[in-house]
Amino acid sequence: MDIKDQVLEVLKNSGEPLKAGEIAEKSGLDKKDVDKAIKDLKKEEKINSPKRCFYAVAE
- pLDDT at 59 (0 to 100): 80
Residue type, 20: A
Q: Answer whether 0.85 is exceeded by the pTM.
A: yes
The predicted pLDDT at position 1 comes to 83
Strand-pair partners of 48? 56
**CB contact at 8 A, 11 and 23:** yes
Radius of gyration of the chain from its Cα atoms, rounded to whole angstroms:
10
Which residues in the chain come in under a pLDDT of 50?
Answer: none
Domains by residue range for the chain, with CATH: 3-57 (1.10.10.10)
